[in-house]
Structure 1
């Protein structure tokens, strides 16, 4: 038996302080107490969000930009802005 193993039945009783600092989790994810929704890390909302569109491009254009690596879609956006002079 592992010498660091502790029998869960030997755990001390919870105090009021334990309950006060406890966090509810479901499947290892912390659930917000007030809203009952999943907490999600991430970026704050953008001041100037991008607009999602569907655009058909020539295969060579897509392959060429993809070949430039990560961020290729942002580079397409930059090139379009440059073409429009903005």
Structure 2
């Protein structure tokens, strides 16, 4: 069975392109979030939470969630849906 994981390419702080696998998309309190992990990094199991905002032209813009409370809300929603093992509940 083939894996239906969506990948996106983002630029890191040094301007290098890094490919990420999108684990899931969450809608929380009228905001949209994606959970991503580096595609080819077998050494880390650390996911990154990104909020989907819109720019002035209405295009999607991915923003790192830096607010601790907002991050906690998204993390809790993810764990409720997927559990600690990452499997859908």
TM-score bucket (shorter structure): under 0.3
Higher helix share: 1
Higher strand share: 2
Structure with more contact order per residue of length (Cα contacts < 8 Å, sep ≥ 6): 2
Q: Which has the larger radius of gyration?
A: 1
Give the TM-score taking structure 1 as reference length.
0.23
